[in-house]
Amino acid sequence: MSGPMRDWKVRWPDGSVADRHGPVGEISERVVLRHQVSRSTVVLGSGQRDLPGLADRAAGAGLEVVRRHSGGGAVLLRPDDVLWVDVLVPRTDPLWDDDVGRSSMWLGAAWCQTLASLGVDADVHRGPFSCGLSGRAVCFVGRAAGEVVSGGRKVVGISQRRDRGGARFQCAVLLGADAVARLVAPLVDLLGLAPRSEILAEIEASVSGLMIPDMAADHLFEAFMEALSSTGSSAG
């Protein structure tokens, strides 16, 4: 792909998960950050309060706890189990949208195109934010405009941080048929959520890992970059 609308710089950041959730500096061009997770980590949203006992429970499970600069609920990252990608767009880019409610629609569409190329039917959530019992606490239970669902379950979570220079969209895809049991359900106990049985049932009904035979994060990322490179010239 060539031309200004198809030029994405791809970078592989170093450092800890905490380091890579810090400020990204000036956003002056289209950039994709492909993150590798080296240590299992609970990542809290920027607006989540500190929860009593979380640090001790996480430490007992061998987990680090960090806070990202974008909104939404908690995510549990484990090596090789999650594709974590940040997409940076400057405010001067045609993909920028002043309307936060629709600003990630184009990115959700790119993820749908990605999944379609791999034989998975998916749709962009276009309704209002829905959170159920635990969606404000657990990222993958809530659904915001632009996020991606397949078979009625969320498969791509997207949060964003906006400033004067541009937007940073943080995308997470859970990999594997047992991703809910490994990556989402444990958050109920780590965060001390209740009523436990009702929330676990809600999670089972509303979240899914990406179940594609022989799927690896690198393969999915390559398909995503193909889709992103063909994205149109505006967010609309």
Q: Is residue 2 part of a domain?
A: no
Which tokens is 132 given? 């159920």
Long-range contacts of 194-201 (CB under 8 A, 24+ apart): 195/133, 198/133, 199/133, 199/134
Q: Is residue 1 part of a domain?
A: no
Q: Which segments within the chain are labelled E, that is strand? A: 9-11, 31-35, 41-44, 64-67, 75-77, 82-90, 123-124, 148-150, 153-162, 166-174
pTM above 0.75, yes or no: yes
Q: Is residue 215 part of a domain?
A: yes
CA–CA distance, 219 with 38 (Å, rounded to integer): 19
Query: H/E/C letters for each residue in 67-135?
Result: ECCCCCCEEEECCCCEEEEEEEEECCCCCCCCCHHHCCHHHHHHHHHHHHHCCCCCEECCCCCECCCCC
What's the domain count of the chain? 1
Q: Which residues contact 212 (CB under 8 A, 6 or more apart)?
A: 118, 119, 120, 220
- The CATH number that applies at residue 39 is 3.30.930.10
Q: Is residue 19 part of a domain?
A: yes
Q: Is residue 235 part of a domain?
A: no
Q: Is residue 236 part of a domain?
A: no
pLDDT in tens, the chain (236 residues): 333 335 899 999 988 888 887 777 789 999 999 999 889 999 999 889 888 899 999 999 999 999 988 888 999 999 989 999 999 999 999 999 999 999 999 999 999 999 999 999 999 999 999 998 998 999 999 999 999 999 999 999 999 999 889 999 999 999 988 899 999 999 999 999 999 999 999 999 999 998 776 668 899 999 999 999 988 666 65
Q: Is residue 203 part of a domain?
A: yes
Q: Is residue 54 part of a domain?
A: yes
Using an 8 Å Cβ cutoff, are 203 and 90 in contact? Answer: no
Q: Which residues contact 194 (CB under 8 A, 6 or more apart)?
A: none
| Domain that residue 38 falls in | 7-229
